[in-house]
Amino acid sequence: MALLSRKDVDVNYTWDLTSLASDDQDAIQRAEQLTKDAVKFNDAFEGKLDTPEVAIEGINGLKKLSEELVLISTYASLRLSSDQSEPEAQKLSAVLGNTRTNYASNVSFFEGELLEKEDSFLNEVKNKAPEYKGYIDELLRNKPYQLDPKVEKVLANFSNVFSAPYSLYNITKLLDLDFGSIEVDGEEIPVSYLAFEGGLESNPNTEIRRKAFRQFYDTLKKYENTTAGTYDIQLKQEKTESDLRGFDSVIDYLLHKQDVSRELYDRQIDTIMKDLAPHMRRYAKLLQKANGLDTMKYEDLKIPLDPSSEPEITVEESRKYIVDALSILGDDYVDMINRAYDERWIDFVSNKGKSTGAFCSSPYGDHPYILITWSSLMEEVFVLAHELGHAGHFYNANANNNIFDTRPSMYFIEAPSTMNEMLMANHLLKNSEDPKFKRWVISSIISRTYYHNFVTHLLEAAYQREVYKMVDNYETVTASDLNRLKRKVIDEFWGDDVEITEGAELTWMRQPHYYMGLYPYTYSAGLTIATQMANRVLEEGQPAVEDWLEVLREGGKRDAVGLSKMAGIDITTDKPLKDTISYIGSLVDDLEKLTEEIDG
Ligand SMILES: [Zn+2]
C-alpha cells in the first residue's frame, strides 16, 4: 500500500500544534522577537552582575527567554517530524536553527559570569530567591570543572565542529550506505536500515531473515574503517575535554553530566552481563524450539515466539485498554490520557516523510505531544503506554517546577515510560484466561521491553565501557579494535547457546548512541526502577501509587538516587537490579510453562 501525502491524511488522527504557535508565520515572528529580546538581555546584564539582586533579575529574564524558545522550537521540530520532506517545515526549522545560535551567543555569557563569582555570592542568590535553588546548585556542582570564561567561549564557538563526527556518522549511514536487495523464491526484497530494523531482522521466514542479515552486514563491512575513524575523532574530543576540565577518566567526566556514581554505572553492566545471561539463553532455546530451528544463530534472536497470536486493534479501541491499564494511577492521570485523545496531542497517522519510531515531546508551558505510527497491531498499546509515561512524567513535573528544575538525570528518564509498559502487561495478563494471548503478552514484554533495554542496549554499554578504557589509555581506536571488543561482549553474553555469525561484531556500527555519552546503560537503569515500582503497585496498591506520583511531580529536583528513594527503591544497593533479573527469569519460566500447555 502506497503511503499517503501528509495533506491527504485524516486530520482527526493528527496532532494539533496550535497551542504552541498559531501557524508558521506566528512562529517566525516570535522567533524574530526572541532574537531581539536576547540582544536586549545581553545589553542589560553582560559584565553587570555586581549584586545578587541583579543576578536574580537576570535569572528571571533567562527563564522567560528560554520558555519562549522551547515553545517555538518545539513547534518547528514537530512540524518537521510530521513530514521531513515539506519545504515550509524545512524552512521553519532552518529559521529556528539560526534563532537558537543567536540566542546562545547572546545568552551564554550569563552562566560563565555567574561561575566566576565566589560561592558566597551564589549562596546569597539562592537565599534571596529560593525558587532558583536547583539552578544555582547545578552551577555549584559544575564549578570545579569550569575553565576560564575565554576558553569556555572558544569551546562554545567550536560546537558545530565538535558535533561533526555525529553528522558524518549519519551521512555515511543514511546517504552513502546502499544495501541493495535480496532474492527469495524469485521475489526481490529491498534491504535498507528501515526495512532491516523494521521487519527483516525479525521476519519469521528463516531464509528471508538470514539472507537479509548477510546482505546487511556485508554492506556495513565496506564502511567499517570510515565509521571507526569518525568515531575515533569523537572519542579523542571527549578525552581532551575531560582532561582539560580535570577529570581522571573520560567515564567520570561523562557520568558527571548525569550526576551518577561510577559504582552505580559499573554495577548495572557487571550484574546484567553475569546474572541475566543464563535467563536469556533459556529464552533463546525456547525461540529455537518454537520456530523449529536446527541451530540458533545470532540473526535469529529477534524472531517472535508466536507471530500468529497478536490481535489487531484500532486507535479507538486502544483508548479503553490504556485507560483501564493506567487508571490505577488516579483520576488526574486518566484525565490527561483522555485529553491526549480528545485534544489531539497524538499524531497517529502514517504518511510520506514522517519520522519513524515513536517519541514524546513535553515542552515547558504546554501539554505533551506524542508521535507514533499506528500499525493496528496490539503491540502499539505498549508503545503508546510507554510514550504516555513520558507525557505523564513531564505533565506533572512541568506543572510543579520552574523550567530549570523539570528534567531529572538521564539515569531516571526511562523509568516512568517503562513503568507504564509494565502496568499494561499486568492489566492484560489479569484480564485474560487464554494461554496463547497470555504467552503473547509475556513474550512481548521479554522480546520488546526487556530485550531492548536489558540486552541490546546493555551489550552496547558493556562494549562502550571497554572502548573508553582504551581511550583513557590514550590509544587510537580502529575498526578491528571495535570489532574485537564488540564480539567479545556478544560471546560472553550468549556463550555456546547461540552461534555467533560472522558480521555480528559490526553491530557497533548501528547505534547513534555512542555520540551521546553514556546513554546505553541508562535504559536498563530506568527499567530496573520501573520493574520494582510496578511490582510495588501490584503488591501494595494505593500507597505505592501515591509515592510514584510524588516522584513524577518532583521533576529534576533530586538526583537518581534521591528520586528512587522517594519511590521506596534503594538503588545504592544491588537488590533492585537482582530482583529485576529474577523477575525476568520468572517470566521465562512462565513462557516455558505456557508453551508446554499450548503444545500439549
Ligand atoms: Zn522512552
Q: Could you tell me the distance, in angstroms and rounded to a whole number, from the CA of residue 454 to the centre of ligand 1? A: 14
> Which residue stretches of 358-434 are H helix?
379-400, 410-413, 415-430
Q: Could you tell me the distance, in angstroms and rounded to a whole number, from the CA of residue 19 to the centre of ligand 1? A: 24
Q: 255: buried, middle or exposed (CB in 10 Å: 19+, 13-18, 0-12)?
A: buried
How far is it, in rounded angstroms, from Cα 562 to Cα 455? 26
Question: Measuring CA to CA, which residue among 128, 125, 95, 99 is closest to residue 113?
Answer: 125
Q: Could you tell me the distance, in angstroms and rounded to a whole number, from the CA of residue 56 to the centre of ligand 1? A: 35
Q: Could you tell me the distance, in angstroms and rounded to a whole number, from the CA of residue 17 to the centre of ligand 1? A: 21
> What tens digit of pLDDT does each residue of 29-38 get?
999 999 999 9
Q: Could you tell me the distance, in angstroms and rounded to a whole number, from the CA of residue 328 to the centre of ligand 1? A: 21
Q: 111: buried, middle or exposed (CB in 10 Å: 19+, 13-18, 0-12)?
A: middle
Q: What are phi and psi of 189, to 5 degrees?
A: -120, 115
Q: Could you tell me the distance, in angstroms and rounded to a whole number, from the CA of residue 57 to the centre of ligand 1? A: 36
Q: Could you tell me the distance, in angstroms and rounded to a whole number, from the CA of residue 589 to the centre of ligand 1? A: 27
Instruction: Establish how many alpha carbons lie within 13 A of residue 173's alpha carbon, considering only the half-sphere containing its beta carbon.
Output: 18
Q: Could you tell me the distance, in angstroms and rounded to a whole number, from the CA of residue 122 to the centre of ligand 1? A: 35
Whether residue 1 is predicted with pLDDT greater than 60 in this model: the reply is no
How far is it, in rounded angstroms, from Cα 164 to Cα 159? 9
Q: Could you tell me the distance, in angstroms and rounded to a whole number, from the CA of residue 369 to the centre of ligand 1? A: 13
Angle 298-300-303 (CA atoms, 0-180°, nearest 5)?
140
Ligand 1 ion: nearby residues, β-carbon < 5 Å? 417
Q: Could you tell me the distance, in angstroms and rounded to a whole number, from the CA of residue 253 to the centre of ligand 1? A: 24
Q: Could you tell me the distance, in angstroms and rounded to a whole number, from the CA of residue 36 to the centre of ligand 1? A: 36
Instruction: Establish how many alpha carbons lie within 13 A of residue 452's alpha carbon, considering only the half-sphere containing its beta carbon.
Output: 14
Three-state DSSP at 17 gives coil
Q: What is the mean pLDDT of residues 430-434?
A: 92
Polymer length in residues for the chain: 600
Q: Could you tell me the distance, in angstroms and rounded to a whole number, from the CA of residue 390 to the centre of ligand 1? A: 7
Q: Could you tell me the distance, in angstroms and rounded to a whole number, from the CA of residue 458 to the centre of ligand 1? A: 15
How far is it, in rounded angstroms, from Cα 580 to Cα 561? 17
Q: Could you tell me the distance, in angstroms and rounded to a whole number, from the CA of residue 383 to the centre of ligand 1? A: 9
Q: What is the pTM of this model?
A: 0.92
Q: What residues contact residue 270 under an 8 Å CB cut-off, 6+ apart? A: none
Q: Could you tell me the distance, in angstroms and rounded to a whole number, from the CA of residue 224 to the centre of ligand 1? A: 29
DSSP letters for 508-529? GGG-GGGGSSS-HHHHHHHHHH
> What tens digit of pLDDT does each residue of 8-64 get?
999 999 999 999 999 999 999 999 999 999 999 999 999 999 999 999 999 999 999
> What tens digit of pLDDT does each residue of 509-557 get?
998 889 999 999 999 999 999 999 999 999 999 999 999 999 999 999 9
Looking at residue 101, what is its pLDDT?
87
Q: Could you tell me the distance, in angstroms and rounded to a whole number, from the CA of residue 583 to the centre of ligand 1? A: 21
How far is it, in rounded angstroms, from Cα 53 to Cα 264? 39
Q: What is the mean pLDDT of the chain?
A: 94
Q: Could you tell me the distance, in angstroms and rounded to a whole number, from the CA of residue 409 to the centre of ligand 1? A: 14
Percent of the chain with pLDDT over 70: 100
